[in-house]
């Protein structure tokens, strides 16, 4: 049977915080690399966007990240307080519950940002008569890059 001392509880708490912060940062940066999509093909009815850049630069994302950081800190303190009197099995179960709660909170905070980005992409695509819009990371060649226009639309709201 495993025993958790105060150092291990602090490590687990830190691991929770790092896990979710890396998740948020990873989400924002995972596909922000360069793509080979050409932006010069203005006659194409296929648009391309750098979706992760649009999400990470959305005005509401900073607030979502701040809220998530506060939630992670609260969960860490909650875990430290409540797990102090728990046996190893209870600590593991509680840790899993905390992770699940934080994951749901992260989805709750970021879903509206995705929705707003999707709406802006649709609006720009409709205005330009684009039939399809794909993420740049999935395009090897071609397509009309509308990332900047979508970003301007998001920041204008």
Q: What's the helix, strand, coil split of the chain in %, to 5? A: 70, 5, 25
**Cβ(68)–Cβ(105) under 8 Å?**
yes
Output the CATH code of domain 6-156: 3.30.910.20
Whether residue 133 is predicted with pLDDT greater than 80 in this model: the reply is yes
Whether residue 41 is predicted with pLDDT greater than 60 in this model: the reply is no
Q: Worst-scoring range by mean pLDDT, 27-41, 45-59, 128-142?
A: 27-41
pLDDT band at 7 (very low <50, low <70, confident <90, very high): low
CA distance 156 to 150: 10
Number of neighbours of residue 154 by Cβ within 10 angstroms: 21
pTM of the model: 0.65
């Amino acid at each position: 049977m495993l025993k958790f001392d105060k150092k291990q509880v602090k490590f687990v708490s830190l691991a929770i915080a790092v896990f979710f912060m890396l998740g948020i940062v990873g989400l924002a940066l995972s596909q922000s690399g360069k793509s080979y999509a050409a932006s010069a093909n203005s006659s194409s009815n296929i648009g391309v966007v750098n979706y992760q850049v649009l999400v990470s630069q959305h005005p509401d994302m900073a607030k979502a990240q701040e809220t998530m950081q506060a939630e992670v800190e609260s969960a860490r303190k909650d875990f430290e307080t409540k797990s102090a009197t728990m046996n190893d099995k209870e600590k593991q179960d509680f840790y899993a519950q905390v992770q699940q709660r934080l994951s749901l909170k992260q989805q709750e905070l970021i879903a509206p940002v995705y929705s707003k980005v999707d709406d802006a992409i649709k609006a720009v695509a409709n205005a330009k008569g684009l039939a399809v819009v794909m993420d740049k990371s999935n395009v090897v060649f071609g397509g009309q890059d509308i990332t900047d226009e979508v970003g301007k639309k998001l920041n204008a709201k």
